[in-house]
Amino acid sequence: MPTTFIQPEFRVEIDYDKCHKCGRCVQQCGWGVYSFNERPIPDDSKCRACHRCVTFCPAHCIRITKNDLAFRESDNWSPDLRKAVWRQAETGGVMLTSMGNPKPYTRIFDSLVLDACQVTNPSIDPLREPMELRTYLGRKPDSVEVEPDGEGGFRLAEGSGMMNNVMLETPLIFGGMSYGSVSLNVHKSLAMAASRLGILMNTGEGGLHVDLYPYQDNIIVQCASGRFGVNPDYLRRGAAIEIKVGQGAKPGIGGHLPGEKINKEVSTTRMIPQGTDAISPAPHHDIYSIEDLRQLIYALKEASGYKPVGVKIAAVHNVAAIASGIVRAGADYVYLDGFKGGTGAAPQIIRDNIGIPIEVAIAVVDQRLRDEGIRNQASIVAAGSIRSSADMAKAIALGADVVAIGSAALIALGCHMCQSCHTGSCSWGITTQKPELTRRIDPEWGAERLVNLVHAWSHELQEILGALGVNSVESLRGSRERLRSIGLDEQMNKVLGVKPVGM
């Protein structure tokens, strides 16, 4: 019997006339595609189309193409579904994948367009005039008192400032990705970049490595259901603390970092033995209600000297009511993660079928908190496939204060979205703990690329604000009047609080 019915997804073609026979492709491939016998010989079945070999081939003689085997057409039984059945018939396992929902659901961001000023209300040139992107993450007071400053102006009255907010130079932070799922060099790149950019990175649920301590003022430390690496020292180091209840790529389920990835260093930051699975239970077993959540929020505040505490949830059907509860429980920010959010490893069936789009979640949560008069009590962080500065601007216009990026940051570091993070053999040295692979990312190089990316998006956001004729990102927040939709149905427009183009 054949061991598998599944044929290679890609073909690795080498133009041997051009090939230097240098063997670099053999060295570079983390998947073990190549063997070498006078010349490199590829095994197509191991290829993940990550392009590491292609990028490093000095002769440019490698081509990765799709293995376009014809399947009898069926709109219902796509080749992917047939392959999944074969794979499960072979293994009996839950299909494991990574890096975000690839299914062709409507991308609402792509059906929204922004406004611009013409003639009557002049646009602003951000190259010439100041354009404020600075954003404060955290609870804002219901009102402030001002007093004369003695020079004809006013200042905030004593004790009337913002309570324990974290200042961000641009409304963007890095989403939680744990050390263990990504390499230490990736964590260092993110931390160094966050520090230089005046924004935040997020530890994910994997503890804080000692090498990141110098950047702790730009780090959110996460407290998730496994409580890995969570101790009083960890809580006091972070600029803010995040309770992770759920994530967009796998709402409602926990996490399993396989024992193979728990090496000595990872075991140290997680404070668990080497080689055992790091199991994060699906729920926090001390949170079964909003009241319990409040109890944990304030426990974290008590233990940390009243740092801001945020709560991250996956965007699900009742997200508005849940977010309202979270804000009332005392969270300083609510982090909404849409169903297209990426992750290191998730069951495919969960990744592709559970959760709702981030665009909808932002709109309904913002509206609900406004309706209840508690919008000022917490910031909204939006994530779950923010792919460009345009998505960032649209998310803010729908009602977010800040966006968070994970996939985009990893793509900046070389991720080619081959969706194989869970294998631990990432050829780009991102989602692996193998020393020969992790050294492929130099943190200094990584930090520079991330800084460049965020600077570029920030400049673009300033351009968008200028076109809108506003000089501060605050003026865009929740300003859905500046959005129009194309091709969305009436009901969706209503949910989003957005008019169609032409109206």
Partner 1 sequence: MTKIIEGYLKVAPAVMFDGDVATIDSQSVYYRQLNEAVRDAIAAGAKTVRLTRVNGQRYIGTGVAGSDVRIEIDGVPGSDMAMFMDGPTVVVSGNAQDGVGNTMNAGRVIINGDAGDVIGYGMRGGTVLIRGDVGYRVGIHMKAYESMRPTVVCGGKARDFFGEYMAGGMLVLLGMDTQFPDQPLVGSFCGTGMHGGVIYLRGSVEEWQIGKECGIFIADEADMVELGPVLKDWCETFGRDYDEAVSVPFTKLVPVSHRPYGKLYAPM
What mask of x and - would describe binding to partner 1 in positions 336 to 375, judged by CB under 8 A?
-----------xx---------------------------
Long-range contacts of 142-147 (CB under 8 A, 24+ apart): 142/376
From 159-167, 175-183, 301-309, 481-489, give the range in contact with partner 1 by CB under 8 A: 301-309
Does position 279 interact with partner 1 (CB under 8 A)? The reply is: yes
Candidates 317, 300, 391; CA nearest to 361 is: 317
Size of the site for partner 1 (CB under 8 A): 44
Q: For residues 225 and 389, which CB has a smaller minimum distance to partner 1 in the complex?
A: 225
Candidate residues 2, 93, 130, 148; the one interacting with partner 1 per rule CB under 8 A = 93
For residue 65, how many other CB atoms are within 10 A of its CB?
11
Cα 122 to Cα 184: distance, rounded to the nearest angstrom: 48
Q: Between 358-371 and 319-328, two packed helices, what is the crossing angle to 10 degrees?
A: 50
DSSP structure class, residue 330: T
Candidate residues 23, 58, 214, 259; the one interacting with partner 1 per rule CB under 8 A = 259
For residue 441, CA distances in Å to 183, 261, 445 come to 9, 18, 7
Q: Are 351 and 249 contacting, i.e. CB atoms less than 8 angstroms apart?
A: yes
206-225 residues near partner 1, rule: CB under 8 A: 225
**Nearby residues of 119 by Cβ (< 8 Å), 6 or more positions away:** none
Does position 79 interact with partner 1 (CB under 8 A)? The reply is: no
Candidate residues 49, 299, 374, 417; the one interacting with partner 1 per rule CB under 8 A = 299
Cα 201 to Cα 17: distance, rounded to the nearest angstrom: 47
Does position 289 interact with partner 1 (CB under 8 A)? The reply is: no
Q: For residues 337 and 352, which CB has a smaller minimum distance to partner 1 in the complex?
A: 352
Chain CA centroid to CA 151, Å: 46
Does position 256 interact with partner 1 (CB under 8 A)? The reply is: yes
Cα 280 to Cα 176: distance, rounded to the nearest angstrom: 15
Instruction: State the minimum distance, in angstroms, from the CB of residue 95 to partner 1.
Output: 6
Instruction: State the minimum distance, in angstroms, from the CB of residue 232 to partner 1.
Output: 5
Does position 295 interact with partner 1 (CB under 8 A)? The reply is: yes
Helix or strand (DSSP H, E) at 166: strand 166-168
Instruction: State the minimum distance, in angstroms, from the CB of residue 286 to partner 1.
Output: 5
From 138-146, 281-289, 363-371, 441-449, give the range in contact with partner 1 by CB under 8 A: 281-289
The residues that touch partner 1, with contacts defined as CB under 8 A, are 87-88, 90-97, 225-227, 230-233, 235, 256, 258-259, 267, 271-273, 275-277, 279, 281, 285-286, 295-296, 298-299, 302-304, 347-348, 419, 422-423
